[in-house]
Amino acid sequence: MTTKKLQDGFNFLYRDKRIRLVHGVLKGLGVTVNRDDYDDLFQEGCLIFAQTFADYPEPITTPMEERRLMTYVYRKVRWRLLDILRHQQHGVAASQYSLDQDELAPENRDLVDSQAQLPFDRLTNTAFFDELWRRSGKQARRYLSLALQDRFDSDTAIARHCGVSRQAVHQWKKQLIATARHLQKDWPGMV
């Protein structure tokens, strides 16, 4: 593959809104825009698109041939990104332990943001949640603990679990958000 063919692949990608294909693949794989490594995966998808275009053996002269190419590229980008995500998943599953590291206390285990993909982001998020926990009142802490658990999908479910009204849970949530905003003003680099 030559640099010219690769450049032609990028040019083809950025013409006529074909870039949406890469966004569509990521969306189909469940990768949201809010994810830490979305931009990296998007760039990887663009590179795979250009490489696949450069390696494609048939010339693209008719709309039918272009449609065949786009179907082929979609599958290729999807498979390669899926491989990357699987590889990342295996890397995230590995943990590091130290002899001088205390295991998280049961009440703090829920405060670790397991959705963060990168170790530094997990550390930052954990520090933020620890400080938020420390500064919050009893009810706000209760809400935070329950909201971070995967078994409650809404404030209504939390209200049912606690035996209180939705308005009460909403007040807990408002208190927690106010504390988080105040914390963010104090330490803007933390979040």
Domain-embedded: residue 52: yes
Long-range contacts of 107-110 (CB under 8 A, 24+ apart): 107/145, 108/133, 110/145, 110/148, 110/149
Q: What is the DSSP string of 29-56?
A: TT--TTSTTHHHHHHHHHHHHHHHHHH-
Domain-embedded: residue 98: no
Above pLDDT 70, what percent of the chain? 76
At 26-49, the pLDDT tens digits run: 998 888 888 888 889 999 998 998
Domain-embedded: residue 146: yes
Under the banding of pLDDT at 50, 70 and 90, the label for residue 185 is confident
The separation between the first and the last C-alpha atoms of the chain, rounded to the nearest angstrom, is 43
Residue 187, pLDDT score: 65
What does the pLDDT average to over 106-116? 48
Which of 50-54, 88-92, 142-146 shows the lowest mean pLDDT across its residues? 88-92
Domain-embedded: residue 191: no
Q: Is the pTM of this model over 0.75?
A: no
- Tell me how many degrees the CA angle 100-130-179 measures, rounded to the nearest 5: 170
pLDDT exceeds cutoff 50 at 128: yes
Q: What is the DSSP string of 93-158?
A: H-----TTPPPPPHHHHTTS-TT--SHHHHHHHHHHHHHHHHHS-HHHHHHHHHHTSTT--SHHHH
At 131-167, the pLDDT tens digits run: 778 888 888 888 888 887 767 778 888 888 889 999 9
Residue 62, pLDDT score: 87
Residue 90, pLDDT score: 65
Calpha distance 168→159 (Å, rounded) = 8
**Do both 138 and 77 map to the same domain?**
no
Q: Which domain holds residue 27?
A: 3-93
Token pair recorded at residue 71: 């179907």
Length of the chain measured in residues: 191
Token pair recorded at residue 157: 């479910």
Domains in the chain: how many in total? Answer: 2
Calpha distance 154→28 (Å, rounded) = 25
Residue 44, pLDDT score: 92
Left if phi > 0, otherwise alpha if psi is -120 to 50, otherwise beta: which for 187?
A: beta
pLDDT exceeds cutoff 50 at 16: yes
What does the pLDDT average to over 89-97? 52
> Under DSSP, is residue 163 helix (H, G, I), strand (E, B) or coil?
coil
**Do both 17 and 47 map to the same domain?**
yes
Mean pLDDT of the chain: 77
Domain boundary among 93, 128, 144: 93
Residue 190, pLDDT score: 54
pLDDT exceeds cutoff 50 at 93: no
Domain boundary among 65, 93, 121: 93
pLDDT exceeds cutoff 70 at 116: no
Domain boundary among 93, 116, 142: 93
Secondary structure letter of residue 161 according to DSSP: H
Listed in sequence order, the residues at least 6 apart from 9 whose beta carbon sits closer than 8 Å to its beta carbon are 49, 50, 51, 52, 53, 54
